[in-house]
Chains A and B, each alone.
Chain A
C-alpha cells in the first residue's frame, strides 16, 4: 500500500547509477571523450550549431542566386551542390542531432531523475560519429558535391558525381549514430525513471523523446539499408535502382521515404516536447490535456510509419495506393490538432510572461500550425498533382522545419541555457532575436507559397521559363531573399546573446523560471552526478497550485564533498 502510493512497485530502481563514480580529472576524459550525458549534449549543440551556420550560409547563397531569373552568381553544377548540401546538412547535421542528441541528452536524464543514460559509453560513440560524418559530408565538395537533392532520387543519383559516395557514407554513419541514440534513450526512459515516476507522471519532453527514440530505432535502420543499397549500386554496379539494369527507381523512393517521412517527426516531436515544457512554465498553468499530448506524440510516431508514399503521388505509384496514403496522412492532422488546441488552452487563463523562450514557443504555435495546414493541402492527391515539386512544397517544409523545429530549438535554448551554463541570457536581446527572426522567416517563406502555385519548380538554378510565365516572379523571389538576409542576421543576435551571457549573464540559480520538472530542482549547471540522492516522484509535475511533488531532494543544495566510488552496496530503501 505504501509502495503503490508513489507507484514504486512498477519501477525499476536506478541502482546502477546509484553509486557515484568519481568525476574524471583529465581534460580529455572530462570534455572531449566524456561519457557524461550533459557534456555530450553540449557537444551535440556546439557541433549542431556550427553546421547550422554553414548550412544557413548555403541557404543564403541559394537566395542570392535566385535574385535574378538567370541565376545571379553560380553555375548550375555549383548551385545543385549547394542546395543538396543545405538540405542534407540541415536535416541530418543540424536538426536531428540538436533535438535528439542535444536536448535529449542534456535534458531527458535530468527530467527522469537519472544520473546518466543507460549506456553512457555508447552515447559517447554516437556523438563522435556525428562530427566525423559531418566532415565526410562536406569533404564531398572536394571530389564533386552530390547534386540530386537531399532525396537523391535514383537513377540520377546513381550517375551523380563521386561526392555522392561520400554523401552515402556520411548519412549512413549519422544514421547509425541516431539508431544507437534511439536505443539508448528508449532503454533509459523505460528503465531508469526515478521511483514513483509512472508513465503519466513523466515530463512531456521526456514523452516526446521516447516517441522520437522509437522512430529512430525503427526507421533509421531503413535509411541505412537504402543508403547501403545506393552505395553498392554506385560502387559495384549492383542493380537495385537503375532501370537500365533491371532495377526500379521507385524502389529507392519507397525505401527513402519509409525513413524520411518518420524522420520529419523525429525532427518535430522533440520540438513539441520543448513547447510543452515552456508553455506551462511561462503561463504559470498546468499543461492542458497532459495525457492527450503524451499519447498523441506516440500516435503520431506510429501513424507516421504509414504515410510515406504521400511524397510519391506523382511518381507512378499505383493509383489505388494513393487513396489509403492520402487518408492516413490526413488522419495525422487530428492528433497534431489536439496538441495545438491543448497548447492554446494552456495559454488561456494564464499569467503569461513573455521571455524569449515563451516568444519562440508562441511563434512556434503560429508558424507550425500554418505549415501543418499547408501539409494537408499537399496530402490531397489531386491538389498535390499541381503542388508537387514546386516552391509550395519548399514553403510547407520550411514552415514546419524552421517555423517548427528551429523555433522549438531556439525556445529550448533560451529555456535551458541557464540550466546548462548557470547564467541568464539577455532578455531584451532575446526579444530582438525573436522579432527579427519571426518577421524575416515569414517574409522569406510566405511568398514561396504563391511562387510555387504560379509555377516555380524546386531545385532550379535559374527560372527563365517561369519568369516569362509569371511577371512578378523576380519581385517575389527578391522579397524572399531580402527577408532571408534579415533572418540570417537575426541569428547573429542569438550567438551574441550566448557570448554575452558568458561574460555578463546574471547567475541563474537553481530555478530561474519557477519551473517544476526535476531538472530545475538541482544546481545550475548540474553537478556531474546530477542527483546526490535519487528523488522520489509523487505526482505529475505540472500542478502550479500544489507543492512540488518530489521527495528526497533536501540534500541536493550542498555539493557532494568528495568524489566517491562507493560500490553499489548501500541501500536505497528507506528504513523505518
Chain B
C-alpha cells in the first residue's frame, strides 16, 4: 500500500486567532447584554427568590452562551478551513495528531472550574431559598391542590378559599399538599414551584415583592383537565389584604350561620 504523507502544520492554521478574537468579542458583548438586561421586563420578578434565581440564570446564560459560541464557532470555522478542496488528491489525509496533553488538561480544568462556580452559586441561592425567610413571623398559608383547582387555607378562616391573596413585603410560609394525585404548584412570575404530593407536605418560603395579579399553573400531569388547572394569586397592600381577609371571614360566617349542622359534612 502506497504511503501517503501527512501534512505538517505550524501554529493553529489560517485565521484561527482572528476567529477566536471575534468570538471572544461576541461573548463579551453578550455578557454585557445579559448582565445588564432586566429580566423583570421580560417576566415579572414578583418575589425575592425570583431575583436570586434570575441572577443565577444570568450567570448560566453568560457562560452557557460563551460555550455555545465557542463550540459552534470553532466547529463551523474548522469545517470551512479544513475542508477538502477540489485540488486535493483523493488520498490526501489530515494532520496526524492524536493527542495534546496540555490542551486536554485545560479543557478538563476550565469546565470543571465553571461548573464548580455554578455549583457554588447554586448552593448559595438554594440556601437562601431554603433558610432565607424568617418563618417564625411569616404568614402561614396552606395550598391544597386537587383535581382540578387549587384551594387555599388561611389562618383564621374556617374554610378554604379558591383565590390566593398575599400582602406585599411580608414573608410567607406556604404549606403545599394535595388531596388526590400529584400536581405542581407553579407561579411563573415568582419562580415558585413545588410538586403537591399526596401524603407529603412541602414548604415554600418567600416574600412577594411586587403588586399585581399572577397566574398559578399546574405543571405535573394530573388528569384530563391538567391543562386547565390554574389559579389566581393577588399580591396587594397589607391593608387591602386585611380587608379581603375580613370580607372572607364575614362571608364564611354568614354562609355557615343559616345552614343546619346536619348539612355539614
Give the interface of A toward B (CB within 8 A): 71, 76-77, 80, 147-149, 153, 155-156, 159, 243-244, 248-250, 283-290, 292, 314-316, 319, 322-323, 326-327, 330-331, 333-334, 337-338, 340-342, 344-345, 347-354, 362, 365-366, 369-370, 373-374, 376-377, 380-383, 385-386, 388-390, 453-455, 457-466, 468-469, 514, 542-545, 547-548
Given contacts A76-B225, A80-B221, A351-B88, contact A285 B186 (CB under 8 A): no
A465 near B230 with CB under 8 A, answer yes
Contact for A460 among B49, B71, B226, CB less than 8 A: B226
A374 and B57 alpha carbons, distance in the complex (Å): 11
Contact for B197 among A250, A342, A352, A548, CB less than 8 A: A250
Task: For residue A137, give the distance in angstroms from its CB to the closest CB of chain B.
Answer: 19
- Looking across the interface, which residue of chain B has its beta carbon closest to that of A374? B64
A469 and B214 alpha carbons, distance in the complex (Å): 9
Give the interface of B toward A (CB within 8 A): 1, 3-7, 9, 12-13, 42-43, 49, 52-53, 56-57, 60, 64, 67-68, 71-72, 74-75, 78-79, 82-84, 88, 91-100, 103-104, 107-108, 111-112, 115, 118-119, 122-123, 125-126, 129-130, 180-182, 184, 186, 188-189, 191-195, 197-200, 202, 215, 217-228, 230
B224 near A389 with CB under 8 A, answer no
A385 near B191 with CB under 8 A, answer yes
Some 20 contacts from A to B, beta carbons below 8 A apart, are: A80-B224, A153-B220, A250-B197, A283-B94, A284-B84, A285-B96, A315-B197, A337-B107, A341-B103, A344-B71, A347-B78, A380-B122, A383-B53, A385-B53, A386-B193, A455-B43, A457-B186, A457-B218, A462-B227, A465-B217
Residues of B within 8 A of A543 (CB): 96, 98
User: Top 10 nearest A-B pairs by Cβ distance?
Assistant: A389-B219, A243-B199, A349-B95, A455-B188, A350-B94, A285-B94, A460-B227, A286-B98, A465-B230, A457-B219
Contact for B96 among A153, A286, A352, CB less than 8 A: A286
Residues of A within 8 A of B112 (CB): 334
- Looking across the interface, which residue of chain B has its beta carbon closest to that of A388? B193
Residues of B within 8 A of A244 (CB): 198
A330 near B193 with CB under 8 A, answer no
Residue in B4, B92, B126, B192 with the greatest tally of chain A CB atoms within 10 Å: B126
Contact for B118 among A153, A334, A351, A376, CB less than 8 A: A376
A351 near B75 with CB under 8 A, answer no
A545 near B3 with CB under 8 A, answer yes
- Looking across the interface, which residue of chain A has its beta carbon closest to that of B231? A465
Task: For residue B118, give the distance in angstroms from its CB to the closest CB of chain A.
Answer: 6
B199 near A373 with CB under 8 A, answer no
Contact for B199 among A248, A315, A388, CB less than 8 A: A248
Task: For residue A479, give the distance in angstroms from its CB to the closest CB of chain B.
Answer: 18
B53 near A341 with CB under 8 A, answer no
A381 and B129 alpha carbons, distance in the complex (Å): 10
- Looking across the interface, which residue of chain B has its beta carbon closest to that of A282? B84
- Looking across the interface, which residue of chain B has its beta carbon closest to that of A322? B126
Given contacts A243-B198, A330-B118, A457-B186, contact A285 B53 (CB under 8 A): no
Task: For residue A278, give the distance in angstroms from its CB to the closest CB of chain B.
Answer: 14
